[in-house]
Chains A and B, each alone.
Chain A
Amino acid sequence: MKRFAETSSDLVRSNLAWRGRTLLLLLPSLLIVVGLFGGGLILGLMQAAGYFPGSGAESFTLEHFKNVFIHPDFFSSLLLTFYVSATSTLLAVVFSLISALLVMSMLRRFNWLHLVMQIPLVVPHLLIATAILFLLSPTGFLSRLAHALQLIESPAGFPVLIHDPWLLGVILVYVWKEIPFLTLMLLSVLLNLDTRLLQVGKTLKANRWQRFRFIIFPSIFPSLSAGTLIVFAYSFGAFEVPYLLGQTYPMTLPVWAYRQYSDIDLMSRPEGIAAGLVIALVILLFVFIAYALVKKSASGRLPI
């Protein structure tokens, strides 16, 4: 009895030591994340709360948040941003699922595919946006090609895909960029999947759909949902693509926040920061919901 107590306290001690060492090893990156990100967030929060020393505005107030919420543009911008992120995320998820499954079955024969899939990951969004601009604008490459092939009468006859009311150009950039990201994420799970499960499925006469539904999907679900969340959060908070390819009005929430922040009147900055914090809050909310869903699915009850 006594010996057992000793070993268990030893265990606790060594466990603590292990934890301590891990924490120490994590410290450099933690410091950066907490210091730079958290510090900036706190400074932003202070400014959004109206703490702007020297300008006569030094008391804390929720006025700026209220101004953001009652602004006539706020909800249309929020809806638009949600529409863009949801549409592009959904499209990216569907296509990446298909492409991951296709690539998995072909990878043995074409293993260079894996490398090719990684190329778009290193290309910045800004570059893709510019490329899309040159490809799809009314004087762009595709429009000229279509004109040269006499598919359209003049370059102006090309459908409006950039600066359009539906933000198709913006969605296209996100889809283009996120498919490889999600595909690679799914592939890493799929390639580690125990193939015997699929063989068992086959011997039990499960058809393709059933094998996907009951074997593949549950095993990729955690990484799929995490990936979906990352993609959604990114496109919800991204500024440069809608700024370059979107319409002047209505604009997405990040563009709107930037416009408030960069207003010529220094005193409208708190509103811009408040709008930025609202974006962060919305993203956090989604993370929370998604986390709850994934946890639920991990306990065996898929939410679908």
Chain B
Amino acid sequence: MRILLIHLWVICLLGGAAHAQSGWTDIEKQAKGQTVNWFMWGGFPAANAYVNGYVAPEMKDRYDIEVRQIPVQDIAEVVSKLLIEKQAGIERGEVDLMWINGENFRTCKTYNLLYGPFAQKLPNRKYIDPNDSAVRFDFGEPVGGLESPWGSAQFVMIYDSLRTPQPPSSIDAFLTWIREHQNRFTYPAPPDFTGSVFIRHLFYHVAGVRQNWQQDVDQAAFERAESRLYELLRGLKPFLWRQGRTYPESPQKLMQMFADGQVDFAMSYHPADASRMMRDGLLPPGTRSFLFEIGTIANTHFVAIPFNARAKAAAMLVANFLLSPEAQLRKADIEVWGDLPVVDFDSLSASWRKRFTGLNRGKATLSAERLKQNQLPEPASDILIQLEKGWEREVLRK
């Protein structure tokens, strides 16, 4: 009896697998000749080059799919466009694929702007660790297959090893360093993305238990931690560049100040940024990067398919291709982009793993393993918004 049941179960499984397989072949057939309008932030030349110079020709060769990158200033524009299309009942929109994460994903989810849980169907999903919270949650929001990961970013601190041979790596030591070196440190003003994530590290530092800030946040505990954070930041102000009366408006500006020697640290949410800028001669040759001892915040970026996409099948094929080891390896190459791979190295064959670990990531870039082992999750996007608003109210204006 038991053996019979097991047999049945195996048959069902096989049938299911076969069915899933045939489903995917159908999708491949449907996708042939379709055009994918990929709406994405256009302000990042390396990402643009990767999409137009690698992904698009590969998709054309392999599946006869046209990939058209539509650069936008801010993906939130596309989200509000979708919102209006939904209201107007437009069934066939222009957006087939979008590069998205965080708050924009949450908005899409709230207003049902996305096509069903397609990410689970992608064959290359097998390269993703299903238990990894970095791909299960997007700023605390359960992803539920509504978007498919394609890369990840992690915050790093940047310093000049000739100027500062021993960078203070614990947050406490770092804060002490700032107080001892007046006028030598600043951060981009939130809501700039990089400045905002720096603030979140200090929030984790004062708030302690960091696992509590993704979901079901205890509001009272949050407010206590929040006020301690602002107190800390206000206390730090006299020691910052220009006494914290003004801040650089972007990480690029901070990088320039770092290169000029006005400040001793820069920061980036892209671990390979420093290497790339050093290669281009924009940063001094001693530039290196480091992580705080508690780890640094990482987030995953995703692609999603809108509810009214015209080329859903082709968009799924693109999302699937982005997860393939070759596409991920290419993206991780510092000469191309240097984006952190999202694939789980344990799922790879030994030879692929070797190719990933053997990749030249540039002198200022930490190894992908080291980064991966020291990742902290982003807090829920509510927290992010409250901290940004709170910073303006309690730190900037005081």
Using a CB–CB distance below 8 Å, which chain A residues touch chain B?
52-55, 137-139, 156, 160, 163, 165, 243-244, 247-249, 259, 262-266, 269
* Nearest CB in chain B: distance from A126 CB, A: 14
Q: Are B103 and A248 in contact (CB under 8 A)?
A: no
User: Which residues of chain B are within 8 angstroms of A248 by Cβ–Cβ distance?
Assistant: 189, 246-247, 249, 396
Q: Are B86 and A54 in contact (CB under 8 A)?
A: yes
A243 and B103 in contact (CB under 8 A), knowing A54-B111, A262-B74, A266-B76?
A: no
**Assembly CA distance A122 to B222 (angstroms):** 53
What total of A-B pairs shows CB separation below 8 Å?
Answer: 57
Select which of B83, B103, B257, B260 is within 8 A of A53 by beta carbon.
B83
**Assembly CA distance A244 to B253 (angstroms):** 9
Does B79 reach chain A (CB closer than 8 Å)? yes
A263 and B83 in contact (CB under 8 A), knowing A138-B262, A139-B261?
A: no
User: Which residues of chain B are within 8 angstroms of A139 by Cβ–Cβ distance?
Assistant: 257, 260-262
Q: List 25 A-B contacts (CB under 8 A).
A: A54-B84, A54-B86, A54-B87, A54-B111, A137-B260, A138-B262, A139-B257, A139-B260, A163-B242, A243-B249, A248-B246, A248-B247, A248-B396, A259-B191, A262-B74, A264-B76, A264-B381, A264-B384, A264-B388, A265-B103, A265-B385, A266-B76, A266-B79, A266-B83, A269-B80
Q: Are B245 and A247 in contact (CB under 8 A)?
A: yes
A54 and B83 in contact (CB under 8 A), knowing A163-B246, A264-B191, A265-B103?
A: yes
Q: Are B385 and A264 in contact (CB under 8 A)?
A: yes
**Assembly CA distance A163 to B111 (angstroms):** 41
* Nearest CB in chain B: distance from A182 CB, A: 30
* Nearest CB in chain A: distance from B200 CB, A: 13
**Assembly CA distance A52 to B392 (angstroms):** 27
Chain B, 85-101, CB within 8 A of any chain A CB: 86-88
Does B107 reach chain A (CB closer than 8 Å)? yes
Number of residues from B at the complex interface, CB < 8 A: 32
Does B62 reach chain A (CB closer than 8 Å)? no
* Nearest CB in chain A: distance from B44 CB, A: 17
User: Which residues of chain A are within 8 angstroms of B191 by Cβ–Cβ distance?
Assistant: 259, 263-264
Q: Are B396 and A53 in contact (CB under 8 A)?
A: no
Q: Are A247 and B246 in contact (CB under 8 A)?
A: yes
User: Which residues of chain A are within 8 angstroms of B247 by Cβ–Cβ distance?
Assistant: 248
Does B397 reach chain A (CB closer than 8 Å)? yes
User: Which residues of chain B are within 8 angstroms of A269 by Cβ–Cβ distance?
Assistant: 80
User: Which residues of chain A are within 8 angstroms of B111 by Cβ–Cβ distance?
Assistant: 54-55
User: Which residues of chain B are within 8 angstroms of A262 by Cβ–Cβ distance?
Assistant: 74, 76
**Assembly CA distance A248 to B396 (angstroms):** 8
Q: Are A53 and B84 in contact (CB under 8 A)?
A: yes
**Assembly CA distance A54 to B307 (angstroms):** 14
Please name the residue on chain B nearest to A243 by beta carbon.
B249
**Assembly CA distance A46 to B84 (angstroms):** 13
* Nearest CB in chain A: distance from B270 CB, A: 19
Most buried by B among A55, A243, A248: A248
User: Which residues of chain B are within 8 angstroms of A138 by Cβ–Cβ distance?
Assistant: 262
User: Which residues of chain A are within 8 angstroms of B381 by Cβ–Cβ distance?
Assistant: 264
Q: Are A266 and B74 in contact (CB under 8 A)?
A: no
User: Which residues of chain B are within 8 angstroms of A247 by Cβ–Cβ distance?
Assistant: 245-246
Please name the residue on chain A nearest to B249 by beta carbon.
A243
**Assembly CA distance A262 to B388 (angstroms):** 13
* Nearest CB in chain A: distance from B247 CB, A: 5
* Nearest CB in chain A: distance from B190 CB, A: 10
Q: Are A53 and B242 in contact (CB under 8 A)?
A: no
Please name the residue on chain B nearest to A262 by beta carbon.
B74
Select which of A55, A137, A160, A163 is within 8 A of B83 by beta carbon.
A55
Most buried by B among A156, A163, A266: A266
**Assembly CA distance A248 to B88 (angstroms):** 40
User: Which residues of chain B are within 8 angstroms of A259 by Cβ–Cβ distance?
Assistant: 191
Please name the residue on chain A nearest to B195 by beta carbon.
A248
Question: Lowest 4 CB-CB distances: which A-B pairs, in order?
Answer: A53-B87, A54-B87, A139-B260, A54-B83
Chain B, 247-268, CB within 8 A of any chain A CB: 247, 249, 257, 260-262
Interface flags for B87-126 (1: CB within 8 Å of A; 0: not) read: 1100000000000001100010001000000000000000
* Nearest CB in chain B: distance from A166 CB, A: 12
Most buried by A among B74, B107, B249, B385: B249
**Assembly CA distance A195 to B92 (angstroms):** 69
**Assembly CA distance A183 to B142 (angstroms):** 61
**Assembly CA distance A160 to B245 (angstroms):** 12
Q: Are A249 and B396 in contact (CB under 8 A)?
A: yes
Q: Are B262 and A266 in contact (CB under 8 A)?
A: no
* Nearest CB in chain A: distance from B254 CB, A: 13
Chain B, 176-229, CB within 8 A of any chain A CB: 183, 189, 191
Given contacts A139-B257, A249-B246, A264-B191, 12 further A-B contacts (CB under 8 A): A54-B111, A163-B246, A243-B249, A248-B396, A259-B191, A264-B102, A264-B103, A264-B381, A265-B385, A266-B79, A266-B80, A266-B83
User: Which residues of chain A are within 8 angstroms of B86 by Cβ–Cβ distance?
Assistant: 54
User: Which residues of chain B are within 8 angstroms of A265 by Cβ–Cβ distance?
Assistant: 103, 385
User: Which residues of chain B are within 8 angstroms of A263 by Cβ–Cβ distance?
Assistant: 191
Please name the residue on chain A nearest to B247 by beta carbon.
A248
* Nearest CB in chain A: distance from B101 CB, A: 12
